[in-house]
Each structure stands twice: as C-alpha cells, then as structure tokens.
Amino acid sequence: MTSGRAAAGTRKMAAEASGALKQRNPSGSISTAGRHRFRSDPSPVACGGAGGGARPVQIVAADEAAHSFSLQEAELERLLLQEAVQDLQVVVVSVAGAFRKGKSFLLDFMLRYMYQQDSVSWMGGEEEPLTGFSWRGGCERETTGILAWSDVFVVEKPDGRQVAVLLMDTQGAFDSQSTVRDCATLFALSTMTSSVQVYNLSQNVQEDDLQHLQLFTEYGRLAMEQVYEKPFQSLMFLIRDWSYPYEHPYGLEGGRSFLDKRLQLTQHQHEELQAVRRHVRSCFSHIGCFLLPHPGLQVATNPHFDGRLRDIDQDFRQELGALVPALLAPRNLVEKEIGGARVTCRDLLHYFKAYMKIYQGEELPHPKSMLQATAEANNLAAVAGAREVYHSGMEQVCGGDKPYLSPAELERRHAELRRAAVRRFCSVKKMGGDDFCRRYQEQLEAELDDAYANFCKHNDGKNIFHAARTPATLFAVVLAMYAAALLTGFLGVASVAALCRLVMGVALAALCIWVYVKYSGQFREVGGAIDHVAEALWEQRSPRQVFSKLLEAVWTRVPLGVLVPWPRPRLTSNNNVKKKN
C-alpha cells in the first residue's frame, strides 16, 4: 500500500514537473562558460521520465495511515549508484521546517542555479514559470516524505576535485496529519544524511523553534557523547519574510548578528533556555543564518501565481541571488562527513539503509540505537570498500578473460590481496569501538575466503584437463572394467567377470548421461553427482588405489570359495580296492 501511494504521488509530481527542463540546459550537458566547470549527470530515473526530463523522486515514502516511513531503495540506488557519481564525494543540501513556508519554492530556484550557475541571469526570464519540485499556494501541505531531484549534479570545486550534489525536499513539519514522531523522524533523517540542513522559518526565531530543533537533534547530542564528535554538520537558519531590516539587515551578515544575539547565553537566563542554546551549538559543526525579505503580496495572495519573476519583489530577488550561491557555489559546497570521513554516493546509500532500520518500529529510536546504526553503516561502508579492493585485484589476476593460473600462484596472490583488503578496512575511520569493528573485520575475512573459493572454481574451469576430468575418469573405468571382465572370464571366475561388466555398464551409462547434461543444461543435479563421484575416483591418485577399492567391494560381496576353487577329494573305485586285496 505504501509503495502504491508513493508511486502515485511520484507520477503526479512527475506530471507537474514534466516541463522542468524545457528552458534549461539539456540533461547531462557540460557548461564551461564560467570559472568552474559544471556538469549535470541525469540518473536513469530522470531519463525515464515523461519527455526525458528530470523530476522529483520519492526516496522516503510516508504511510499516513500507519504513521510510518519506508525507504524506496530501488529509486535511491538509481540515483546514487550511477557509474559517473557512485565514487564521488557527495554534497547533500536539504530544506526542512514547518509546512507551507515555501521550501519547495526555494528549492526550485536552487535547481535553476544548478542548471545555469555559469550564467549571470541564472534566475531565468521575467515570464518563465517556476518548475521543478512540486509547489503551490494555499494552506494545505504539498510534499510528503522526502524527495530528491533525479539529476545528481557533478561540480568541479576550485581545487579541481569533482563532487556530486544532491538536492532534497522534506515534508513540512507540524501539519494536521503528522504526529510529533513523524516530524522528528523526517527532520532527524534529513539532518543525518545531509551536509547542509536549511532550517526554514518564518519571520523570526522563536523559542519553540529552538525547542523543536532540540527535540529533533536530541539523538545526535546523545550520540555525540558516545563518540565525542558533533553528530551533524552545517545548519543554516533561513528566516523568511524578515520585517526588521532596520535592526538586522538582510543577508548573511545581518543573519549572523541576529543569530548571535538569539543564541546568546546570559547570566540571568533560565537554566532551560541556556540548555536549549548549548544543545543547538553542540550538535552542529557550523551554524549560520540568512535573513530573507518577503517576496511580495502578489506572491502571497494571488492564487494564480506560478513563480514568474515579474511578480516577485526586487528586494527578495536581490537577496535570493545572494542566498543560493552562498549554499551552492563551487567554493561554498560542503561535502558530507560522518565520523570525520568524507562520504561518497555509494556510502550514502548504506547510511540511508542503516538509518531507516531504526525508524521501522513504533517508538522513536533509543539514542544508542542511532549510534549503533551509524557505526553499522560506517563499518559496512568500510567492508564494501575493502571487498572492492580484493575483487578488483582478483579480477586482474584471474578474471573472465585471464588465462589459467596455477593453484599455488593463485593462492599466493589471494593471500596478498586479502591482507591488502584487511589493511584498507583497518585504515578507514570507523565508529563503534574495537570489539564492534572486529566483528565486521571477521565478516570481511569470511567473505573474502568465500570469494576465493569461487575464484578457484572459476580458474579451474579454464583448465582443459580439469574440464575433461569426469569423462576421462569414466572412460578409464570403462576400459579397466572391460579388461578385468576379459581377464576374469578367461580365468573362469564368472561371478567377478559379471560384476566387472556391470560396473562397466554403469560407468558407460553415467558417461552418456553426463554428456547429455552438459549439452542440454537439464538435470544439473544428476550431472553434479556424477562429477562428485568422478572427482572422488580421480583423487585416489593411482590405479592401484582405485582397483583396491573396487576389489575390496568385490571381496566383501563374493564368497572366497567362489573365486578360488578348493581341491576336490579323489574317489577310489572298487577295482582299485579289489587289486589291493
């Protein structure tokens, strides 16, 4: 039911955003007009949308009836595991806050900047409707769950490094259909996975805004006490509709002076107020504030407003032109870090999965559970990286197009790559402590040993003699039994000759069945059993051992008197007796 509603919501938003790229650069284009090179890499999801345009993608779906959330893993994997971005360090910019406060509206201007940031007029034309994330006027909520834009942008920073930029839109908090737990879950999840969290507020920073922020980040504070690190990265207070520019001017500078005053600790403050402010400062590595003016009455009251610049006040446009580059300009991008290590798109997928596990129950997670989930994702990412080192190395040694390698050399190379993979795992900064990490190291070593066994089988399959082991063994048994049958028949041991002919017939039938299985691909279990028996005979190493086993079976089943005739007593005739007499 959850996936069905999520899919329906996604189709609706895709229809509303189908024209998003009509006036933008084509998806996947490279622009070198400005100082920094910029590229947009469309995901498979975007390519499959209506008209080939990019669109919002539901990555966390909300079940309103059950008040629960589910991770849309397939959609997230399409975004983060694209070949062009999966190994790039990721920048995640998320906008969260109360519902109906213009979060999606702001994100669509961010999209315009990402598509046209090298252009002076990146905001678009005066008559251009605003498209992208679904938004509208009114008092009812629009966004549910967490959405991400289907284009993952690749940006080159001033130092030459390329990073992937992901934009996320979060369901508004405190609407009439969401519980406090729902709001806390979404805000905490978006904050844990983002490198920059934009806290969208209206008109001012009130005490309840800080208290809600304290609630949403409480788990981060407790986790910080365990790992002695600040759990979250960058928080940007965005104060919309700021009406006091004569006290604190619009922009970052006015926001900084305003926030310093709002978060100031004074001697006469109540202990509860001091605790809230200490908590907020202790949970984020960097805290900023931006004061944004009102966009104008035409925006707020016109039901037909569609985002055209002509309807937006000039002050708002001017400050918006400063806000968006402050977040998304190449020199200002902040890569996602967890535990002091920068995170790639591939790693972010592991963290999303681990974090979502702790939100599947009926209660908010215990803070230690969040720490454990973070440590688990951290160690899983380290295991995945170490495993990749081993697999890529072994593919170079005995991959699909590589010739057969001797078992001794293959084992030596396996040992070297295994040690390299373990060193890679140990070199990554991990959370959870030595005992916790040791379990994942043991898991890694077991996985590498299993992978080595598979590589050995793959390598043996390239050996023509190994491939011919079963038919050669069966054919040798047929010849040996045929010769044994002739010999024992000549000696007059008919029972042994019959047994040899029986074994010869069974071996010949097994050989025919094996050929049919290999040719048709059917009855593979039978073919595997024949291979197993042939391998057991082959491992005897010498004909003497093979025949000793066969003769042992014969001696246990055939009486000795049948094989070797006993001497018969001679009968004396009456004539001889008479002669003696």
- Name the range with the highest mean pLDDT among 45-59, 220-234, 466-480: 466-480
Give the mean model confidence (pLDDT) for residues 394-418: 86
Indicate the pLDDT class of residue 534, thresholds 50, 70 and 90. Answer: confident
CA distance 566 to 522: 52
The H or E element that residue 9 is part of is helix 2-16
Give the pLDDT score at 371. 63
Helix spans in 430-468 (H)? 434-460, 464-467
CA distance 132 to 53: 10
The pair of three-digit structure tokens given for residue 30, joined into one six-digit string = 């490279």
Q: What pLDDT digit, counting tens, does each position of 319-375 carry?
A: 998 999 999 999 999 999 887 889 999 999 998 888 887 776 555 554 444 566 778
Give the pLDDT score at 444. 93
CA nearest to 283, candidates 370, 164, 380, 350: 370
Give the pLDDT score at 154. 93
The structure's pTM equals 0.60
Give the pLDDT score at 249. 92
Give the pLDDT score at 142. 54
- Beta-carbon count within 10 A of 297 CB: 10
pLDDT at 294 > cutoff 60:
yes
Q: Which amino acid is at 537?
A: L
The answer for residues whose C-beta is within 8 angstroms of residue 357's C-beta and 6 or more apart is 373
User: DSSP assignment of 186-215, as one string?
Assistant: HHHHHHHH-SEEEEEEESS--HHHHHHHHH
Do the beta carbons of residue 202 and residue 99 sit within 8 Å?
A: no
Indicate the pLDDT class of residue 56, thresholds 50, 70 and 90. Answer: confident
Give the pLDDT score at 541. 53
pLDDT at 52 > cutoff 50:
no
**Quick one: what percent of the chain has pLDDT higher than 90?**
22
Give the mean model confidence (pLDDT) for residues 77-94: 92
pLDDT at 563 > cutoff 50:
no
Give the pLDDT score at 421. 93
User: DSSP assignment of 30-53, as one string?
Assistant: EE-SSSS-EEEEE-HHHHTSGGG-
Q: What pLDDT digit, counting tens, does each position of 176-200 carry?
A: 456 666 777 788 888 888 999 998 8
Q: Which amino acid is at 348?
A: L
The pair of three-digit structure tokens given for residue 166, joined into one six-digit string = 């992901």
pLDDT at 564 > cutoff 60:
no
More confident call, 463 vs 413: 413
Strands (E), 382-452: none
Residue 354 CB-density burial (10 A; 0-12 exposed, 13-18 middle, 19+ buried): buried
CA distance 217 to 283: 7
CA distance 122 to 161: 24
How confident is the prediction for the chain on average, in pLDDT?
A: 75
Query: SS3 for 97?
Result: strand
Strands 337-338 and 89-97: unpaired
pLDDT-wise least confident of 24-28, 57-61, 237-241, 431-435? 24-28
Give the pLDDT score at 66. 61
More confident call, 45 vs 69: 69
User: DSSP assignment of 127-138, as one string?
Assistant: TPPP-SS----S
Q: Which amino acid is at 482?
A: Y
